[in-house]
Amino acid sequence: MYKILSFTSIADNRGALIPIEQLKDVPFDIKRIYYMFDTKLDVVRGKHSHKYLEQVLICVNGSCKIMLDDGYKKEIIKLYDKNIGLYIGPNVWHEMFEFTKDTVLLVLASDYYNEAEYIRNYEKFLKYVKNNKTVF
Ligand code: TYD
């Protein structure tokens, strides 16, 4: 349902840097990048799945939790480490919550924004995955 990716941090006496290359450090071509910040306390973001999109979430500052649901089981992952990427494939319902004031959540995506490939209704999501539209 998800994969944890571990990035290599290059540190010297000036500080640290993490490079991420498509098809090397993440398993897809990166077509889009977006980031969430200034998220209000108690807000839950996401609440959708994607039919095709692959994404890697990296919490580059602060922390947040991600709830992942493949229609059969749910897991919660806490992101707080810049070296870690959370890979989420298609057909995984995800919700982001417990953002800290300083959280910056960076997302690398395999395709351009396309509202048509979102499922934003949980009941529709369950029907979609249970009708064998998905491989986990
Ligand atoms: P939304 O999908 O609600 O964010 P969340 O991940 O919390 O569900 O996106 C908020 C708005 O931003 C919505 O109008 C769609 C728009 N948007 C884009 O235009 N491009 C993007 O790449 C993304 C992720 C969202």
pLDDT tens profile 40-74:
999 999 999 999 999 999 999 999 999 999 999 99
pLDDT surpassing 70 at residue 19: yes
pLDDT at 136: 42
Quick one: DSSP state of residue 75? E
Q: Which band of pLDDT confidence, cut at 50, 70 and 90, is reported for residue 135?
A: very low
**pLDDT: which is higher, 86 or 133:** 86
Measured distance CA(55)–CA(48) in Å, rounded:
13
Pocket of ligand 1 (CB under 6 A): 32, 34, 45-46, 48, 113
48 in catalytic set: yes
Share of the chain above pLDDT 70, in %: 98
Please tell me the distance from the alpha carbon of residue 126 to that of residue 131, in angstroms, as a whole number: 8
Tokens coding 24: 């090397």
Report how far ligand 1's centroid is from the alpha carbon of 15 (Å).
32
- What's the pTM? 0.95
Q: Which ligand 1 atom minimizes the distance to the CA of 34?
A: 22
* Ligand 1, atom nearest to 113 Cα: 22
pLDDT of residue 133: 73
- Judge contact between 77 and 65, C-beta under 8 A: yes
Kindly report the protein residue whose alpha carbon is nearest to atom 8 of ligand 1: 46
**Which residues pair with residue 67 across a beta bridge?**
76, 95
